[in-house]
Structure 1
Amino acid sequence: MHYRQGFFALMTCMATLASSNSAVAQGVKPIDPSRFYKGVWLEVARRPMWITDGCVVGTTQYTRGAQPNEVRVRDACRKAGPSGAETVLEGVAEILDPGVNRKLEVQYNPLLRVRYDIVDYAKDYSWFIGISSTLDNLFIYTRRPPTKDRLRALVNRARGLGYDTSTLEFPWGPAN
């Protein structure tokens, strides 16, 4: 009987600690689109993809679109090093879950349409973890270049959410 009471006390304590964390747990709170889909995000970790081969210093810039659930997207990176030529891919996105604002489908061109889900983010909108709808791509973004410790913590957070982080690459520098 004492074990059961101890177990429930431990679970209550853990739940309290988890709720006091600076981030919002997966699926718990809607995103404020006026804060989230605005400005520049730095792509600090990602799984390798053919489209980002040789790309470093990746960024995504969001601006509000003409319609309430529309976002303009500008993805950019530098080829062959931080001072290399800039490669840009632009598109128009639709927020697929108005009110929650965590699902975004971007139409980059007539042949390239990609859906992204925001699975975790900081309450102060300083970082987020995103995935593609097919779950084969994982991304970690921040507003500023993170310290190595911060980047390591974000990778661990993604791993804690159940995502495979073993193949992540770090276009702004390693997490080690």
Structure 2
Amino acid sequence: MMRLVIALLAGLLLAGCATSGDDSLAPKTVHSVNLKRYQGKWYELARMPMYFQRNCAQSEAHYTLKTDGDMEVLNRCLTPEWKWEEAKGTATPQIPGKNDKLWVSFDNWFTRLLPGVTKGNYWVLYVSDDYQTAIVGSPNRRYLWLLSRKPEVNTDTREELLSRARQQGYDTTRLIWRVSDTKMAQTSK
């Protein structure tokens, strides 16, 4: 019974990621993403607090373009105990032919219990010209991820990403930053 209650509450939380209101108030997306260039490994530099990532010290996402135009998603989370946790899913364009706004659903007991309700609203807000950094968020500004092809970026790149996120109306003071490899090694001793 408790599992069902938790599932329903989480479903309501995820359903709240969808918008049906005034799109003029929503963040602006990049309008088009070259999914061939976007696929591959991305390191999460920072994120807004999210229940499903509460134990993540380091996270990464792996995207693989499928022949039907969807993206296969593999999210990995390294816990402070040096244990990898994984979630597999699919990212599907919300509007056929456009790929800046994606529905992401993961294959787990929860999504099988409530199919269609547990889709995450994944908007690509920024991608650098060289596809080395990106900003992804939800239109209600509850979730935000700063991504990079490298586990760490220089100060100028970090400040540029933060500035772009703030310009879109996200509260960057709430960001949880990736724990460095050095700090992870020190905490495991």
Fold equivalence (TM over 0.5): yes
C-alpha distance 35-98 of structure 1, shift in aligned 2 (>3 A):
farther
Does structure 1 residue 122 correspond to structure 2 residue 128? yes
Task: State the match for 1:169 in structure 2.
Answer: 176
Task: State the match for 2:34 in structure 1.
Answer: 32
More helix by share: 2
* Contact 1:71 1:95 (C-alpha < 8 Å) held by counterparts: no
CA RMSD of aligned residues (A): 2.0
Within 5 A, what are the aligned runs for 1:12-31? 26-27=28-29, 29-31=31-33
Task: State the match for 1:48 in structure 2.
Answer: 49
Report percent identity of matched pairs.
Answer: 28
After TM superposition, the score normalised by the length of structure 2 is 0.69
Stretch deviating more after TM superposition (124-133 or 92-101): 92-101
More strand by share: 1
Give how far 1:51 is off.
Answer: 1.0
Give how far 1:45 is off.
Answer: 0.9
Aligned mates of 1:64, 1:132 — CA distance in 2: 21
Aligned mates of 1:121, 1:137 — CA distance in 2: 17
Aligned mates of 1:28, 1:74 — CA distance in 2: 23
Which runs of 5 or more residues in structure 2 are unaligned? 1-27, 181-189
Task: State the match for 1:63 in structure 2.
Answer: 64
**Across the two proteins, how many residue pairs are aligned to each other?**
145
Does structure 1 residue 141 correspond to structure 2 residue 141? no
C-alpha distance 80-167 of structure 1, shift in aligned 2 (>3 A):
same
Which amino acid in the other structure matches residue 48 of structure 1? P
Give how far 1:75 is off.
Answer: 0.5
After TM superposition, the score normalised by the length of structure 1 is 0.74
* Bigger relative contact order, structure 1 or 2 (CA pairs below 8 A, ≥6 apart): 2
Which runs of 5 or more residues in structure 1 are unaligned? 1-25
